[in-house]
Amino acid sequence: MSPKTLYDKIWDAHVAHEADDGTCLLYIDRHLVHEVTSPQAFEGLRMTGRTVRAPDKTIAVPDHNVPTTPGRDDPKNMTEDSAIQVAALDTNAKEFGIHYYPVSDVRQGIVHIVGPEQGWTLPGMTVVCGDSHTATHGAFGALAHGIGTSEVEHVLATQTLIQKKSKNMKVEITGKLAPGVTAKDIVLTIIGATGTAGGTGYVIEYCGEAIRDLSMEGRMTICNMAIEGGARAGLIAPDETTFQYCKGRPHAPKGAQWEAALNWWKTLYSDDDAAWDKVLTIRAEDIAPTVTWGTSPEDVLPITASVPAADSFTGGKVGAAQRALDYMGLTAGTPLRDVEIDTVFIGSCTNGRIEDLRAAAAILKGKKIAVKRAMIVPGSGLVRAQAEEEGLADIFKEAGFEWRLAGCSMCLAMNPDQLAPGERCAATSNRNFEGRQGRGGRTHLMSPAMAAAAAVTGKLTDVRELM
């Protein structure tokens, strides 16, 4: 047998049909659904009298539009568009008989946090969702990617997806991370190195000692941003860390089925002599706490650097950099650590898990915020409950943070949590596009520990100085 990558193995196990031109019909194991990209898809089914093919494998949760303050199940607390989408999901979930976690359910949260938490996401699966950050689930060694609304309809109706195979890219992070450096710093550094188009046409497998050393939470942070590097999906081979995380989750297999699953999962790794179309290697020791300065996730620098000059770039990037600097209100040569911050947002499907909250709490303990406003938005109701049980919520509240209910929140301006024009935010989310967090809002992406450090000093800060 010829050697295979992890991607090859999962792909081969799911091809239901292959056409002469290489277009394949893939079987889909899990279909996650949220309120923004599903209403038309369900409407399509309804209009043609079709049902959901595999309701047991279809999981719905509202996350993007929902407010994160009490009273959020009252449509009056949402814009009309938001209320319509949330109500449509509610109707569709009930009518088509799929699994559903409404806001009144403690398990509700951001779809990419709920799936793994409930054991829906497991190694070797194909996972899709009408959402680009579906890549998150690749942390389990599942082939997971975003799909468009017409594909959502196709998957609902057939439990299959038409796909062409991508190329294989290996990103290896060798060695060990220094203190204060986290998964977020790894993935920002990777995107800085490849650019936002570097992964286009590829599925990336992240490997190496520094990736192996990460918890599942950290691995999800990495794969979450594969899409920001342009890749179709990100993957990390499952190992003991993965199996321990999955074991005992509500929808993970049990007993003999668990053993059988485990036997297969243990075969899910790239063979030693597998061929790669592209390889990138980064030394973990070379990665520093990292922040973005511009309006693209590739605009990254170590916190020790200064705001770059537009003409330090080449080609088409010169104009883009100048525009980004103007939008961000930054002057070339300013040390990043002198950049003052108005707001801190800790949350999102990139960094809204319990480990992220623990990392923030470790910095915030016994300190007060020096910014105008700061909020912590747990990624799910269960993350919130656990953080309360561990005493983290008290640390946040005492520091002056707002302690919110679960949802996408200030990651994107689709709900009441938004930046005002010109407001500068240290955010743990994954996109710093113009207007992403609110019209005219300025976003600096970073890790939870770095965002917490910015909260207590009021500036972009090297977290290592507070450790």
Ligand X SMILES: CC(C)[C@H](C(=O)O)[C@@H](O)C(=O)O
Q: Is 408 annotated as a binding residue?
A: yes
Residue of the chain from 146, 175, 440, 458 that contacts ligand X (CB under 6 A): 146
Residue of the chain from 349, 369, 460, 463 that contacts ligand SF4 (CB under 6 A): 349
Binding site partner of 146, from ligand X, ligand SF4, none, Cβ cut-off 5-8 A by kind: ligand X
328 binds ligand SF4 (CB under 6 A): no
Q: 128: which strand partners?
A: 31, 145
Residue with Cβ nearer ligand X (284 or 346): 346
412 binds ligand SF4 (CB under 6 A): yes
Residue with Cβ nearer ligand X (37 or 447): 37
Q: Is 24 annotated as a binding residue?
A: no
Pick from 131, 277, 278, 135: nearest CA to 194: 278
Site for ligand X in 62-81 (CB under 6 A): 64
Residues 292, 445 contacting (CB under 8 angstroms): yes
Q: Is 223 annotated as a binding residue?
A: no
Rounded least distance, CB 412 to ligand X, Å: 5
131 binds ligand X (CB under 6 A): yes
430 binds ligand SF4 (CB under 6 A): yes
Residue of the chain from 9, 30, 57, 64 that contacts ligand SF4 (CB under 6 A): 64
Binding site partner of 110, from ligand SF4, ligand X, none, Cβ cut-off 5-8 A by kind: ligand SF4
Could you give the string, one character per residue 22-61, with x where binding to ligand X holds by CB under 6 A and - elsewhere?
--------------xx------------------------
Residue with Cβ nearer ligand X (161 or 301): 161
Rounded least distance, CB 63 to ligand SF4, Å: 6
> Which residues, in sequence order, are CB contacts of 449 under 8 Å at separation 6+?
180, 182, 289, 359, 360, 362, 363, 463
Residues 356, 441 contacting (CB under 8 angstroms): no
132 binds ligand X (CB under 6 A): yes
Residue with Cβ nearer ligand X (34 or 219): 34
**Distance of alpha carbon 138 from alpha carbon 349, whole angstroms:** 13
Site for ligand SF4 in 201-230 (CB under 6 A): none
Number of residues that bind ligand SF4 (CB under 6 A): 13
Q: Which stretch binds ligand X (CB under 6 A): 74-82, 129-137, 150-158, 217-225?
A: 129-137
Q: Which tokens is 144 given?
A: 């997971």
Residues 429, 347 contacting (CB under 8 angstroms): yes
133 binds ligand X (CB under 6 A): yes
Site for ligand SF4 in 117-156 (CB under 6 A): 131, 133
Residue with Cβ nearer ligand X (182 or 350): 350
Residue of the chain from 411, 419, 460, 463 that contacts ligand SF4 (CB under 6 A): 411
Q: In what order do the strands lie in the sheet with 343-346?
A: 402-403, 373-376, 343-346, 424-427, 442-445
Residue with Cβ nearer ligand X (116 or 180): 116
Residues 193, 224 contacting (CB under 8 angstroms): no
Residue with Cβ nearer ligand SF4 (194 or 350): 350
Binding site partner of 44, from ligand X, ligand SF4, none, Cβ cut-off 5-8 A by kind: none
Number of residues that bind ligand X (CB under 6 A): 8
Q: Which tokens is 158 given?
A: 């057939």
Query: End-to-end distance of the chain based on CA atoms, in angstroms?
Result: 51
Q: 24: which strand partners?
A: 18, 163
Which residues form the interface with ligand X (CB under 6 A)?
36-37, 64, 131-133, 146, 412
Binding-site residues from annotation for [4Fe-4S] cluster? 349, 408, 411
